[in-house]
Amino acid sequence: MGLSSMRVRTQNGPSDLRAIWWEDDVVKAIDQRLLPERLEIVAIKTYEEMAEAISDMTVRGAPSIGAAGAYGMALAWQSGVDLVGASRVLKATRPTAHDLFHAIDRMLSIGDGLVEAAKGYADSIAEKCRLIGEAGNSLIEDGMKILTHCNAGALATVDFGTALAPIRVAHRSGKKIFVFVDETRPRFQGAKLTAWEMVNEGINHAVIADNAAGYYLRSEVDLVIVGADRVAMNGDFANKIGTYEKAVLARENGVPFYVAAPVSTFDPSLRSGDGIVIEQRSPDEVLIVNGVRIAPAESAALNPAFDVTPAKYVSGFITETGVLAPDELAKMLAE
């Protein structure tokens, strides 16, 4: 499985895990739907099961679903299934994260030996996230209070994280930091997953209601770091719904706002964020909380999973190649 950095407490004591990996001819993944109550590992044996695991968010987060797409192609290759057909099924799962399409196209272009190729892809994502952690750590000073949205941690990215990687590195290097964790309605990836990673890593944090972010941005937050699901060439980017309003509030209050993402999240075919397809998810995610309907039976709900933040609100992108201003992206990708 390779080196991993996500420290978790299992029944057998502390262990280092990745979000997803290959083991004994199948793919193993943390079932992210069950955290933080239960840590369960699922075995995914076919590409159809992988498509289901991506759709139902057993595996989630842009770089992790990229790895899932690569591993899904490896499962298809291993059982002699038509790769183009499998790629269509895997690509039809979730529309917004660029990593999924990038990874599947990579596997299609390789065409053979896909188990080793997919393992290599996942390892390379983990290494890129480690480098993002090193680069982003330079932005974090001792004593800083940092706000993050959704979960761009190891769970979302195979290992280390994107937004959470610099936070992890800063903490491990002895900096005293505090993290405001947006709960991230409607699926609570912040409250459930980011907080779980913070607890495992021993990082000081508090979960805040999404509506409280403005209150803290106005008073206490020194730095915002978020992840991304797709970045256009002009620096507009899609991330979990609610990111846009955090970016505007950060600008209004003079708080630096950084986006951490590997190059696999950047879409060279998009000139601006206008072309990003936003996934619309089930109204039930908004209307039903812990099995209880919270709105009148007659009420409908709208549930866009992502929003697009214009590049003008971004202080910089933290990538595996370093920290870049939005207007440096196109040049970096051309290289």
Q: Is 229 in the site for ligand MRU (CB under 6 A)?
A: yes
State in angstroms the smallest separation of the CB of 216 from ligand MRU: 18
Q: Is 60 in the site for ligand MRU (CB under 6 A)?
A: yes
End-to-end Cα distance, the chain: 31
Q: Is 62 in the site for ligand MRU (CB under 6 A)?
A: yes
**Active site includes 82?**
no
- DSSP code of 264? G
Radius of gyration of the chain (CA): 19
CA 100 – CA 268 distance, rounded (Å): 14
294 three-class SS: coil
- Residues 138 to 167: which contact ligand MRU by CB under 6 A? 150-152, 156-157, 162
- DSSP code of 31? -
Q: Which residues pair with 238 in a beta bridge?
A: 230, 308
CA 321 – CA 335 distance, rounded (Å): 11
Q: Is 305 in the site for ligand MRU (CB under 6 A)?
A: yes
Shorter beta-carbon distance to ligand MRU: residue 83 or 129: 129
E-strand spans in 168-247?
Answer: 178-182, 205-208, 223-226, 230-231, 237-240
Q: Is 189 in the site for ligand MRU (CB under 6 A)?
A: yes
In angstroms, how far apart are the furthest CA atoms of the chain?
A: 58
Q: Is 194 in the site for ligand MRU (CB under 6 A)?
A: no
- What string marks each residue from 5 to 44 as x (binds ligand MRU by CB under 6 A) or -? ----------------------------------------
Shorter beta-carbon distance to ligand MRU: residue 42 or 226: 226
Tell which one of 159, 240, 262, 320 touches ligand MRU (CB under 6 A): 240
Tell which one of 226, 247, 263, 311 touches ligand MRU (CB under 6 A): 226
From the candidates 99, 182, 210, 229, give the one annotated as an active-site residue.
Answer: 229
Report the candidate in 88, 120, 119 with the shortest Cα–Cα distance to residue 105.
88
How many residues would you count in the chain?
335
Q: Is 183 in the site for ligand MRU (CB under 6 A)?
A: no
Residue 20 tokens, joined: 């997803």
Tell which one of 227, 235, 242, 273 touches ligand MRU (CB under 6 A): 227
- Judged by the rule CB under 6 A, the positions of this chain that interact with ligand MRU are 60-63, 150-152, 156-157, 162, 189, 226-229, 239-240, 305
* Active-site amino acid positions: 229
